[in-house]
Amino acid sequence: MDTGRKVSGGKLHAFRKGKKFEHRGQPNIVKLAKVKKKKVRLLGGNKRTVLLTSDTANILDKKTGKSSPGKIKNVLETPSNRFWARQNILVKGSIIETDKGRARITNRPSREGSVQAELLSGE
């Protein structure tokens, strides 16, 4: 049977239009540069602080259990998209080079107002 058709052959019509809140927004890409943030309005008038660019991260050392801020030098690799590492785009799972060593980003910087990372062992 053809899609969009009834068994009788008549056309199926949408029962309503798509609403604005159902449409997707533009993706927010966080790049490696001086820290820049922006407030975004959400449903119900709620607000969220999103990151546009960042050069600092809160780095957790699992051995000591302490967290401290550190400077991001470079994005080494991004498992989700290898081209993003070349463009220094910060996403969850990216491995970054910091002044404290190599670290993996554990949060979603494009949704939150900061970069959280944990030091990788073996260094």
Per-residue pLDDT at 1 exceeds 90: no
CA 45, 48, 52 angle in degrees (round to 5)?
135
**In whole numbers, what is the pLDDT of the chain averaged over residues?**
91
- pTM equals 0.80
Q: What pLDDT, in 10s, does the model give residues 67-85? A: 999 999 999 999 999 999 9
Output the pLDDT for position 122: 59
List the chain domain ranges.
Answer: 27-119
Q: What pLDDT, in 10s, does the model give residues 28-60? A: 899 999 999 999 998 899 999 999 999 999 999
Output the pLDDT for position 56: 96
CATH 3.30.70.920 assigned to 27-119: no
Output the pLDDT for position 121: 76
